[in-house]
């Protein structure tokens, strides 16, 4: 069974641009969560999608948005990039049902904003 | 207030020794879950072990065990017979209920380096 895949793995953007990151969960998993990881703030929850609906949201500005498609693939978008958005963005998938007993993570997308 | 506290920013351990990584948590929920993840330098977060708040026995997964002390709100990870490949960041996380859904709250992590 293939694991969680994230594309691209690395990305370099400049301030003011926008970016879209993609996450494909494990086959059969309906929930995708997104996290931002920075040296200063650690791991922070962005949002979770389940069956194409946002089920949960962290405390991030509206520049951060996401969506989920019918095949459970998810994208997150960051508009008007700031230097502080430089981070490792991780997505995680689980089968669903509110249980986090086995949340599987992808390798992450490392975003650098110049 | 810090919900998950990992007091050891970094640790050096000799290969083959056992190591304990500390984690304390704070919650008023009766039902919660505690997790440990490993993050190698490649960046991927690897699930290690899970302990539910109602589980009476400490969780074990191969060389990993979780020393769960509910009254002390402590969930330490024990790695027996450490190996060079155990060098990584280790994160403790707690599943907490927010409104009608769950979120994972993360600790700051402990960087573990295994010395040959």
Kindly tell me if the per-residue pLDDT of A99 is higher than 60.
no
Taking residues A90-94, report their average pLDDT. 91
Kindly tell me if the per-residue pLDDT of A52 is higher than 60.
yes
Tell me how far apart the alpha carbons of residues B112 and B77 are, in angstroms, rounded to a whole number.
12
Predicted confidence at residue A10, as pLDDT, reads 96
Tell me how far apart the alpha carbons of residues B111 and B116 are, in angstroms, rounded to a whole number.
16
Predicted confidence at residue A40, as pLDDT, reads 85
Q: Do A31 and A95 contact (CB within 8 A), yes or no?
A: yes
Chain B residues with CB within 8 Å of chain A CB: 33, 35, 37, 42-47, 50, 91, 93, 95, 98, 101-109
Predicted confidence at residue B97, as pLDDT, reads 75
Other CB atoms closer than 10 Å to residue A96's CB: what's the count? 14
Taking residues B108-112, report their average pLDDT. 96
Hey, are the CB atoms on B43 and A98 less than 8 Å from each other?
A: no
Predicted confidence at residue B22, as pLDDT, reads 97
Is residue A101 very low, low, confident or very high in pLDDT (cuts 50, 70, 90)?
Answer: low
Kindly tell me if the per-residue pLDDT of A56 is higher than 90.
no
Taking residues B47-76, report their average pLDDT. 93
Kindly tell me if the per-residue pLDDT of A1 is higher than 80.
no
Tell me how far apart the alpha carbons of residues B31 and A82 are, in angstroms, rounded to a whole number.
38
Could you tell me whether strands B4-5 and B24-25 are parallel, antiparallel, or unpaired per DSSP bridges?
A: antiparallel
Kindly tell me if the per-residue pLDDT of B96 is higher than 60.
yes
Tell me how far apart the alpha carbons of residues A97 and B64 are, in angstroms, rounded to a whole number.
26
Kindly tell me if the per-residue pLDDT of B21 is higher than 70.
yes
Closest approach of chain A CAs to the CA of B115, in angstroms? Answer: 24
| Pair of tokens at residue B72 | 């002390």
In tens, the pLDDT along B46-58 reads 999 999 999 889 9
DSSP code at position A103: P
Other CB atoms closer than 10 Å to residue B90's CB: what's the count? 24
Interface membership of A39 toward B (CB under 8 Å): no
Taking residues B77-94, report their average pLDDT. 96
Predicted confidence at residue B31, as pLDDT, reads 85
Taking residues A83-111, report their average pLDDT. 84
Predicted confidence at residue A12, as pLDDT, reads 97
């Amino acid at each position: 069974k293939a694991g969680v895949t994230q594309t691209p793995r690395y990305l370099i953007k400049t301030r003011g641009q926008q970016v879209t990151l993609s996450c494909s969960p494990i086959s059969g998993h309906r929930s995708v969560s997104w996290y931002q990881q920075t040296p200063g703030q650690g791991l922070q929850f962005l949002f979770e999608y389940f069956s194409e609906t946002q089920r949960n949201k962290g405390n991030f500005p509206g520049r951060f948005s996401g969506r989920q498609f019918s095949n459970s693939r998810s994208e997150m978008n960051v508009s008007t990039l700031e230097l502080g958005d430089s981070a490792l963005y991780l997505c995680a998938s689980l089968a669903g049902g509110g249980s986090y007993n086995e949340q599987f993570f992808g390798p992450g997308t490392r975003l650098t904003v110049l | 207030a810090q919900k998950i506290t990992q007091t050891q920013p970094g640790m050096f351990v000799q290969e083959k020794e056992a190591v304990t990584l500390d984690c304390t948590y704070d919650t008023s929920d009766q039902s919660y879950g505690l997790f440990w993840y490993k993050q190698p330098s490649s960046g991927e977060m690897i699930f290690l072990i899970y302990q539910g708040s109602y589980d009476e026995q400490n969780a074990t997964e191969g060389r990993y065990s979780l020393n769960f002390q509910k009254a002390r709100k402590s969930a330490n990870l024990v790695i027996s017979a450490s190996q060079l490949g155990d060098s990584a960041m280790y994160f403790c996380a707690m599943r907490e209920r927010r409104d009608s859904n769950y979120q994972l709250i993360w600790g700051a992590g402990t960087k573990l380096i295994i010395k040959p």
